Amino acid sequence: MVATTGSHDVMRTADGVPLRIKLRRAERMRKVWAIALVAPLFVFLVVGFILPIISLLSLSVEDPDLTSGFPRTAELFQEWDGEGFPPPEAMTTFAEELSIADRGQFGRAAKRLNYDISGFKSMVKKTARKSEELALLPPDQIHDGFIKIDKDWSDPAYWYAIKNASDYYTDYYLLWSLDLQRDKEREIVSVSPDRAIYVDVLLRTIEISFAVTLLCFLLGLPIAYLLATLPTRISNLLLILVLLPFWTSLLVRTTSWLVLLQNEGLINDMALWMGLWNEPQELIRNRFGVYVAMVHILLPFMVLPMYSVMKTINPWHMRAAASLGAPGWKAFLKVYFPQCMPGVAAGTLLVFILSLGYYITPALVGGPGDQMTSYWIVQNMGRTANWGLGAALSVVLLLLTIVMFFIYNRFVGVDRLKVN
Amino acid sequence: MTDSTHRPDHGSNEPQVRFENVQKTYDGEVLVVKDLNLAIEKGEFLTLLGPSGSGKTTTLMMLAGFESTTHGDIVLNGRSLRLVPPHKRDIGMVFQNYALFPHMTVYENLEFPLQCHKVEKSSREKKIADALAMVELTGFERRRPAQLSGGQQQRVALARALVFEPQIVLMDEPLGALDKKLREQMQIEMKHIHQNVGLTFVYVTHDQSEALTMSDRIAVFDDGVIQQLDAPEELYERPKNAFVAQFIGENNRLKGRITELTEGLCLVELPSGHTIRALPVNVTEVGQETTLSLRPEVVVVGATENDGCDDVFTAVVQEQIYMGDHTRVRMEVFGHDDFVVKVPRGAGLGGLEPGQEIGIGWRSGDCRALDAA
Ligand SMILES: Nc1ncnc2c1ncn2[C@@H]1O[C@H](COP(=O)(O)OP(=O)(O)O)[C@@H](O)[C@H]1O
Ligand SMILES: [Mg+2]
């Protein structure tokens, strides 16, 4: 080191501020700027994405209908071991809270109890009308009082259903969304076959997504290849055709398929006229219609990533392969296609995940047997207002998506999605 | 203007490749290659040299099979290539951008042509090792192209084109992307490799010094026509027309008119009134316009009448540029101020000053009277 006088021990800028401090100040300014720039997006993500997911997750494990409207009843039923009948004071409390519950509280609780045993709702209603007198009965007569109103109260299953709804935190809805329930011993068992629909729906969702992805891939590959290899003038035109669907609303595109594919639609009319078939074919409200419409709508999501990757592939590679003795198919399989993998991976992942959550298209062009999980989410969240089940189905769908993503990552590698 | 009489005689056999009256148009309007006749001998290093757009790549692509001929035929070993697809032509190729397969290692890149040619698995390893040794890349088998420098990628591309022992190796400006030093080194190496493997190399470049360094013969292309096909010395020392003279090497061009023409000598009158003795190359009659071509290095600076020069004139020094091993001197003479001469270091002419008058001279055989173009 060159000897320096004291004042030069610290490197300073021309205005005498130590270099280190100056640097830190400059960096701090940069950081503040960077944070300011990402802050809006961050807030948006939190409000629009993370908070809804958290609330969804919590909705799926909450069972508030009885616990908030009938808090003391819920508490007492929770303490009951579930054997035989609940203690008389639990019944009395139930009768008391029935008599003071407002319409909303009562309605929600009755609906919740009806999930377990259908017909329970009207039974609770009937009981509520006489609940004031019921609450005044001495403990040794209270059960008989209930039975007098409705003889089903002598069935322990009804009392157990109340207990079942008395935990604020529950796996009831999550189990339900997988066609499972807990029996009296708290063991997880399948629900009765006539109630089991959601596993089928889930498998169907996977099946449809898989088929749509495969179809999109098979149709998209040649399109992307053409786009990437044709002269720019023609490929730009083609690209516009591929992008055109993006500029049209999803609903319009789906309904136009409805118009095209219906019995009196264009396709059937044409086919009849050309003599392809003799009577109108069912092209809609079945799986065929779902595949046609979904593939049409999702195809750009497959084509664009593949195209963007293919465009970066050196077109001389195919010639190089030929000069090295490879016939066209071999050059394509061994040289071209492996280089497309990042695009194929991105495209298939995108289409698959979008398919998993598809709602409006299957709802419009599919039959009852073609509805996917999101249809049932909408059903439960909207029409029947079963928020817990709707949320639980959403959670299952979300988990399925995440699982698919990881399986995919395992086999294809998400780091290969990078387009360089 | 195509010349097939000057090709070196490698025996009386049929040449390996023959272009027969080949024409090519892409758009149906412009002929990119015009009536090409070219014979390529087995084992030679032939370079197609010409400015950009002169049709060199097109010619190469037609030979490789990636472009069709609009007219005429290409014959390989006596067999027309018209219906032979590229992958069956047995012609290796090195592309300007190397076209190495990025998803394969160096080893896999070299194995690919062997696979395609159904080479036994057992002998692949040795062939690959030999090819890599030839380009001095032993030990790079496991690397991917992205992990190699430009020069190394170029070598891999060369090794890949050679490893399956094709009949011919085509190269389209393979050194174009390398820096000057590496390029010059690769030129020498490529020439050695050519000598070692004994395959036919057809090489495309627009760099005349590259062509002169490596080739057995050079075909100078311009505007879809071979202007001259000759060995490098021949081409440099005896260009047949003004284009070749100007494209290869440096060249002082003087326009003039023939006033006298005899066997081996002509007199040319310049617009400035001077008359110069020159070697008639492609002039045929008195009164014809001509371009005189004088290489800078044949001009003797400080010449006097009795220096063995046939012509001596007085020139005015304009500018000197020091180039290390020689000095370029720009002079004014015959009414042109861009007459360039080269003075070798050690010629004892250190102190030329701008404005100084000095004698310049040359032998009339070194001053070539070419076409007027
Ligand atoms: N694929 C093509 N389509 C149309 N014109 C082309 C094509 N390739 C080359 N050309 C034209 O042909 C001429 C010769 O090109 P090229 O053979 O590449 O010349 P070089 O290799 O000598 O630079 C150029 O004018 C070029 O514009
Ligand atoms: Mg070229």
Q: What residue in B sits closest to A314 (Cα-Cα)?
A: B99
A:288-347 residues touching chain B, CB 8 A cutoff? 314, 316-317, 319-328, 330-331, 334-335, 338-339, 341
CB pair distance less than 8 Å for A319 and B113: no
pLDDT score for B21: 95
Q: What residue in A sits closest to B92 (Cα-Cα)?
A: A323
Which one has a higher pLDDT value, A295 or B302?
A295
Q: What residue in B sits closest to A416 (Cα-Cα)?
A: B103
Distance CA A105, CA B205 (A): 88
Distance CA B289, CA B256 (A): 6
CB pair distance less than 8 Å for B87 and A339: no
- Which ligand 1 atom lies nearest to the CA of residue B27? 4
What is the token pair recorded at B288? 């014809």
Burial of B336 (0-12, 13-18, 19+ CB in 10 A): middle
Q: How far is A263 from chain B, CA to nearest CA, in Å?
A: 50
Q: Does A147 touch chain B (CB under 8 A)?
A: no
CB pair distance less than 8 Å for B95 and A319: yes
B:85-124 residues touching chain A, CB 8 A cutoff? 85-93, 95, 97, 99, 101-103, 112-113, 116-117
Q: How far is B190 from chain A, CA to nearest CA, in Å?
A: 19
- Which ligand 1 atom lies nearest to the CA of residue B56? 22
Which residue in the set B65, B103, B112 is minimally distant from A324, CB to CB? B112
Distance CA B32, CA B38 (A): 16
pLDDT score for B7: 43
pLDDT at B140 over 80: yes
CB pair distance less than 8 Å for A320 and B99: yes
Q: What residue in B sits closest to A317 (Cα-Cα)?
A: B99
Would the CB of B56 count as within 6 Å of ligand 1?
yes
pLDDT in tens, A284-294: 899 999 999 99
**Length of chain A (residues):** 420
| Closest C-alpha to B56, from B28, B36, B27, B79 | B36
Which residue in the set B65, B97, B160 is minimally distant from A324, CB to CB? B160
Half-sphere exposure of A163 toward its Cβ, with a 13 Å CA cutoff? 24
* Chain A residues close to B103, C-beta within 8 Å: 338-339, 341
The answer to whether residues B298 and B363 touch, using CB atoms and an 8 Å cutoff, is: yes
Q: What separation in Å is there between the alpha carbon of B200 and the centre of ligand 1?
A: 24
Q: How confident is the model at residue B355 (pLDDT cuts 50, 70, 90)?
A: confident
The whole-number average pLDDT for the span B208-230 is 94
pLDDT score for B303: 77
The answer to whether residues B47 and B218 touch, using CB atoms and an 8 Å cutoff, is: yes
pLDDT in tens, A81-137: 888 899 999 999 999 999 998 999 899 999 999 998 989 999 999 999 999 999 999
Burial of A16 (0-12, 13-18, 19+ CB in 10 A): exposed
Q: What separation in Å is there between the alpha carbon of B49 and the centre of ligand 2?
A: 10
* Chain B residues close to A231, C-beta within 8 Å: none
CA dihedral A113, A118, A122, A124 (to 10 degrees): -30
ipTM of the complex: 0.81
pLDDT in tens, A266-286: 888 999 999 888 888 888 899
Q: How far is A382 from chain B, CA to nearest CA, in Å?
A: 50
CA distances from A354 to A124, A398, B93, B199 (A): 43, 12, 45, 56
* Token pair 């050309």: residue: A274
pLDDT at B10 over 50: no
pLDDT score for A1: 41
CA dihedral B248, B254, B255, B261 (to 10 degrees): -90
Q: What separation in Å is there between the alpha carbon of B176 and the centre of ligand 2?
A: 10
Helices (DSSP H) in A46-130: which residue ranges?
Answer: 51-61, 64-69, 71-79, 88-100, 103-116, 120-129
Tell me how crowded residue A77 is: count the other CB atoms within 10 A of its CB. Answer: 27
| Closest C-alpha to A65, from A93, A104, A95, A120 | A104
| Closest C-alpha to B45, from B207, B240, B210 | B210
Tell me how crowded residue A194 is: count the other CB atoms within 10 A of its CB. Answer: 6
Which ligand is nearest the CA of B49, by number?
Answer: 1
Would the CB of B281 count as within 6 Å of ligand 1?
no
Distance CA A332, CA A328 (A): 6
Q: What residue in B sits closest to A336 (Cα-Cα)?
A: B101
CB pair distance less than 8 Å for A324 and B116: yes
Residue B342 φ then ψ, to 5°:
-115, 130
CB pair distance less than 8 Å for A327 and B113: no
CA distances from B19 to A372, B38, B74, B78 (A): 66, 5, 5, 11
Would the CB of B26 count as within 6 Å of ligand 1?
yes
Q: What HEC string does chain B produce?
A: CCCCCCCCCCCCCCCCEEEEEEEEECCCCCEEEEEEEEEECCCCEEEEECCCCCCHHHHHHHHHCCCCCCEEEEEECCEECCCCCHHHCCEEEECCCCCCCCCCCHHHHHHHHHHHCCCCHHHHHHHHHHHHHHCCCCCCCCCCHHHCCHHHHHHHHHHHHHHCCCCEEEEECCCCCCCHHHHHHHHHHHHHHHHHHCCEEEEEECCHHHHHHHCCEEEEEECCEEEEEECHHHHHHCCCCHHHHHHCCCCEEEEEEEEEEECCEEEEECCCCCEEEEEECCCCCCCCEEEEEECHHHCEECCCCCCCCCEEEEEEEEEEEECCCEEEEEEEECCEEEEEEEEECCCCCCCCCCCCEEEEEECHHHCEEECCC
pLDDT at A313 over 50: yes
Distance CA A347, CA A358 (A): 16
pLDDT at A380 over 80: yes
The whole-number average pLDDT for the span A332-361 is 92
Q: Among residues of chain A, what percentage have pLDDT more than 70?
A: 96
pLDDT score for A361: 92
Which residue in the set B89, B93, B103 is minimally distant from A320, CB to CB? B93
Q: What separation in Å is there between the alpha carbon of B118 and the centre of ligand 2?
A: 32
Q: What separation in Å is there between the alpha carbon of B48 and the centre of ligand 2?
A: 10
CA torsion sign for B170, B176, B181, B182 is negative
pLDDT at B341 over 70: yes
Which one has a higher pLDDT value, A23 or A213?
A213
pLDDT score for A82: 86
Ligand 1: residue whose CA is nearest its atom 20: B53
